[in-house]
């Protein structure tokens, strides 16, 4: 599987596409080239749905690497691929007819950065009257 001597055909921060398949850089999770086009019984692509279950998998980077691998290996895309990503990761937003971008449902529901929880306003400290003042 992935080894430093292999030629990287495509790469991003999380994934490396090599002649044998794609590999997650941090975990070593590997998807063999021969398995990339796997489908489920209803025709949906298997990997977008499987990877959506992985908490460590960043959707945009997986999608970028997966599509690059399909292109490099001559695996044709179809409408079921779009459906598979939409069902796995969220709602697809079409920016222009040629664009293939999407907005993950998780990105819509959680802020990109942790927002500090709202704090209760502090009351002024009570001043104790000194005895005999």
Distance, in Å, from the CA atom of 27 to the CA atom of 4, rounded to the nearest integer, reads 15
Cβ-based neighbours of 70, under 8 Å, separated by 6 or more: 36, 37, 76, 77
Domain that holds residue 58: 8-109
Q: Which of 52, 56, 68 is nearest to 12 (CA)?
A: 68
- Residue 130, domain member (yes or no): no
**The predicted structure's pLDDT at residue 122:** 59
Inform me whether the pLDDT recorded for 51 exceeds 50: yes
Higher-pLDDT residue of 99 and 57 is 57
What's the whole-model pTM score?
0.65
6, two tokens: 């292999």
Tokens 């990761």 label which residue? 89
Whole-angstrom CA distances from 94 to 27, 67, 86, 111 are 31, 17, 12, 21
- Residue 115, domain member (yes or no): no
Q: What is the mean pLDDT of the chain?
A: 78
3-state secondary structure of 8: strand
Question: How many domains are contained in the chain?
Answer: 1
């Amino acid at each position: 599987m992935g080894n430093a001597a292999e030629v990287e055909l495509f790469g991003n921060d999380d994934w490396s596409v090599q002649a044998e398949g794609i590999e997650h850089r941090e975990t070593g999770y590997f998807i063999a080239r021969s398995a990339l086009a796997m489908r489920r019984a209803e025709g949906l692509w298997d990997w977008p749905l499987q990877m959506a279950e992985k908490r460590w998998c960043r959707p945009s980077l997986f999608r970028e690497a997966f599509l690059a691998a399909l292109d490099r290996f001559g695996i044709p895309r179809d409408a079921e691929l779009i459906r598979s990503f939409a069902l796995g990761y969220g709602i697809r937003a079409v920016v222009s007819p040629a664009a293939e971008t999407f907005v993950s449902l998780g990105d819509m529901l959680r802020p990109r950065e942790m927002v500090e929880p709202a704090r209760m306003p502090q009351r002024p400290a009570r001043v104790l009257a000194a005895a005999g003042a």
